[in-house]
Structure 1
Amino acid sequence: MKRLYYLTDTLDSVERIAEALHKEGVSDWNFHVISKDQAGLYRRHIHSANFVQKSDVVRYAERGAMVGFLCSILGSVYVASEQPFGPDMSGMVYFAIFGFVTLFGVWVGGLMGMATENQKIAAYHGEIEAGKHLILIDAKAEEEERVRELMARTYPDAHLLRVGSTLINPFKFARPAV
């Protein structure tokens, strides 16, 4: 899926865009708004972005899993070469090392990501803090052009900032806005 990032100035505009997108078949699951005015979104029944979409928890957890996996390989090599538990060690010990260290990496990475703003949204932090509203629209590849045309034709005040993916690549860094 593609994620379209639009920026608009008013909640009235956000509400009109939400209604138009609902008529076009875009559900609340594919339409999210990041705004400083959370109470206004709630009063107007507009779907606000959730914690996972606002933070980098998934990307950092993926990175933590990779670091944990590499550390678990090193730990297993150490245990195999030094045999701290004796020569008659079960294979389950290696499995436990892999599982524990990898999951520990996921946990630590997730904690770091919880404290970090989503890298794709951080570029627009100043606009959001200034009172603007960031609209995230998730569209299938075949629906993307239709959504873009609707937005350009009907809501020229909503500016397309970027087109990205809903998938999270732990190695990819945010590119400047379109």
Structure 2
Amino acid sequence: MNRHYYISDNLDELEKLENELEASGISTEQIHVLSEQDADVEQHQLHDVPSLMKQDVVHSGQVASLIGLALAALVILLAWLNGWAESPAGWTPFVFLAVVLVGFCVWEGSLLGMQQPNSAFRRFADRLHEGKHLFFVDVKPGQEPILNQVIAHHPRLELAGTGEATPDWAVSVQRRWHQFRRMI
């Protein structure tokens, strides 16, 4: 999937655009609006960015997990090289320490990520501070022509680039979750 970013200062136009995309077969879960004016986005019934996605929790947690895995490997390696596992306790304390290190690093990295804006949206921070809105769509390669056709009817939108999209499986899970919630 590919993510297409657009900048606009008109929420009415974005609401119309979202409705046209949904009518053309692009699901609501593929469409998001990021703005510093959350109340206005909600008033226009646009699909806003979840608060967890606004922060860098996932990315920071992934980076920290790599650090934790490296530390865990170091603990296991040191225990093996120095023969510490030959003690009556065996490998248990070292494996436990390795698991604790990975968990701690992921936890700490995620906490640090909660204090940072999402790394995917940092390049748009100045435009958002100006009162603009970021509209982005995650599309499969087969949906690219649909997106281009609908976007062509909105010349006031400013193309702001492309990027890595939410994985297709995650969008499918979100879609099923929303369907399940509607049934309840």
* TM > 0.5: yes
- Partner residue of 2:150? 150
Q: Structure 1 regions of 5+ residues with no counterpart?
A: 169-178
In the alignment, the residues of structure 1 paired with residue 51 and residue 36 of structure 2 have an alpha-carbon distance, to the nearest angstrom, of 14
RMSD of aligned residue pairs (Cα, Å): 1.9
Contact in 2 for aligned 1:76/1:97 (Cα 8 Å): no
CA distance in 2, matches of 1:90, 1:61: 31
The ranges of structure 1 where at least 4 consecutive aligned residues each deviate by more than 4 angstroms after the TM superposition are none
- Alpha-carbon displacement from aligned partner over 1:61-119 (angstroms, at most 9, x marks no partner): 11100000111111223344263x87122333333223211111111111111111122
* Structure 1 residue 7, shift from structure 2 partner: 0.6
TM-score normalised per structure 1: 0.84
1:70 counterpart SS class: helix
- TM normalised by structure 2 equals 0.82
* Cα contact 2:17–2:150 (8 A) shared by 1: no
Separation in structure 2 between the aligned mates of residue 167 and residue 29 of structure 1, nearest angstrom: 10
Please tell me the residue identity of whatever aligns with 1:50.
P
Q: 1:39 & 1:21 partners in 2: Cα distance?
A: 22
Q: Which amino acid aligns with 2:55?
A: S
Tell me the equivalent position of 2:107.
Answer: 107
Superposed displacement of residue 167, structure 1? 5.3
Q: Which runs of 5+ in 2 are unaligned?
A: 168-184
- Distance apart, 1:124 and its partner CA: 1.1
Task: Report which stretch shifted further, 71-80 or 32-41.
Answer: 71-80
Asked if 1 retains the 8 angstrom alpha-carbon contact of 2:65 and 2:105, the reply is: yes
